[in-house]
Amino acid sequence: MTNNLYNTMYNPDVLSCIANLSNDEVFTPPEVANAMLDLLPQELFSDPNTTFLDPACKSGVFLREIAKRLLEGLEPLYPDLQERTDHIFKHQLYGIAITELTSHLSRRSLYCSKTANGNYSVVHFDTVDGNVRYKTIQHKWKNGKCVFCGASQSQYDRNDDLETHAYELIHTTKPEEIFNMKFDVIVGNPPYQLSDGGAQASAIPIYNQFVEKAIKLNPRYLTMIIPSRWMTGGRGLENFRKKMINDRHISQMHDFLNSSDCFTGVEIKGGVCYFLWDKSYNGECDIFLHDGDDVETSKRFLVDGDDEIFVRYPTLVSIKNRVWSHGERLTIKSQ
């Protein structure tokens, strides 16, 4: 018997309806979440010991879609639906919400109740949070900036009844102590930026910090969707760019020139990308460049030798190599 717990409860899917509410905290459509989950070895969803973490829960879509796969994959081991559900939700799925509101939304998506110990929760926990936690975190100010994320004190030193936007994962030097456990898979769509108090709505990127802290947790696999602006550096992204292009654990990358191909109606300049970081992998990356319905594919290292330049367009790679082979250097600007 195939479980239809989630298949019958969302029509139309409410998580598709709210997928695009903000440019800084973009909600992920279910189809994008599933495309990212498709990058993972699918046998993970038939293993009762695989643990998953979404460190930036908004709608709960990643955990919900993982749950659907686990409910199907673990049926041979746990034929009883309630026993299977209890095991998956209590021992395999974990999340950190980015705001109090999104903690309620994520629990409702996952547990069918905004409180994990509520009467309508599909599994019963002894706490309100269950495994989707939210903790009010304060920024640590120094010289008008947060020492962790760089947020402006003038913008985010707020009254207690307002969200601080001090995200738990990136406001600690020891992220491994948040749950005190090891995660096999980390997946998510982190917040992208925070105001730095500058002119004309100036903002600093923070998605890079989520990627770096997630890698510090030492998972087997990591997949996140982030703006592609990191490919050109700037705005505090130079060190992150160098780490990414030299990281040979990145086995796949899907790069979208137009962010609306992933997030309908949302403009993110430079596009977006999602990738698979595989701790056991060390080699060339399968790169898929999406431009509407057109997809160019290539298999290569993100950076060639000591170039320190990532070329998004596969057709330009061969041109660059031919020119450089004659001792000429090109300045290539990412689009």
* 335 vs 45, more confident: 45
Residue 136 has pLDDT above 60, yes or no: yes
What pTM did the predictor assign?
0.89
Q: Looking at residue 335, what is its pLDDT?
A: 43
Token pair belonging to 125 = 């926990």
Residue 24 has pLDDT above 60, yes or no: no
* 261 vs 330, more confident: 261
Residue 256 has pLDDT above 90, yes or no: yes
- Residues of the chain with pLDDT > 70, as a percent, come to 84
- Please state at what angle helix 61-73 crosses helix 81-91, rounded to 10 degrees: 140
List the one residue out of 204, 99, 208, 190 whose CA is nearest residue 150: 204
pLDDT bracket for residue 296 (50, 70, 90): very high
Considering the domain boundaries, does residue 156 fall inside one?
yes
Considering the domain boundaries, does residue 8 fall inside one?
no
Token pair belonging to 101 = 């509101």
Cα 169 to Cα 96: distance, rounded to the nearest angstrom: 8
Cα 22 to Cα 191: distance, rounded to the nearest angstrom: 10
Considering the domain boundaries, does residue 235 fall inside one?
yes
Residue 315 has pLDDT above 70, yes or no: yes
- What's the chain's average pLDDT? 87
Task: Give the CATH number, domain containing residue 241.
Answer: 3.40.50.150
Write the CA distances from 42 to 88, 185, 249, 302, integer angstroms.
16, 12, 19, 25
**Residue 161's CB: how many other CB atoms inside 10 A?**
5
Token pair belonging to 6 = 């989630």
* 194 vs 179, more confident: 179
Q: Looking at residue 10, what is its pLDDT?
A: 44
Considering the domain boundaries, does residue 7 fall inside one?
no
Considering the domain boundaries, does residue 331 fall inside one?
no
pLDDT bracket for residue 265 (50, 70, 90): confident
Write the CA distances from 12 to 8, 26, 31, 212, integer angstroms.
10, 20, 13, 35
pLDDT bracket for residue 9 (50, 70, 90): very low
Number of domains in the chain: 1
Mean pLDDT of 229-233: 90
Residue 191 has pLDDT above 90, yes or no: yes
Residue 202 has pLDDT above 90, yes or no: no
H or E element that contains 132: strand 132-133
Considering the domain boundaries, does residue 335 fall inside one?
no
Residue 107 has pLDDT above 80, yes or no: yes
Cα 67 to Cα 34: distance, rounded to the nearest angstrom: 12
- Range with the poorest average pLDDT among 25-29, 276-280, 325-329: 325-329
Considering the domain boundaries, does residue 330 fall inside one?
no
Considering the domain boundaries, does residue 23 fall inside one?
yes
Query: Are 52 and 185 within 8 A, CB to CB?
Result: yes
Range of the domain at 288: 14-325
CA quadruple 92, 215, 195, 36: dihedral positive or negative?
Answer: negative
Q: Cis omega before residue 30 (within 30°)?
A: no
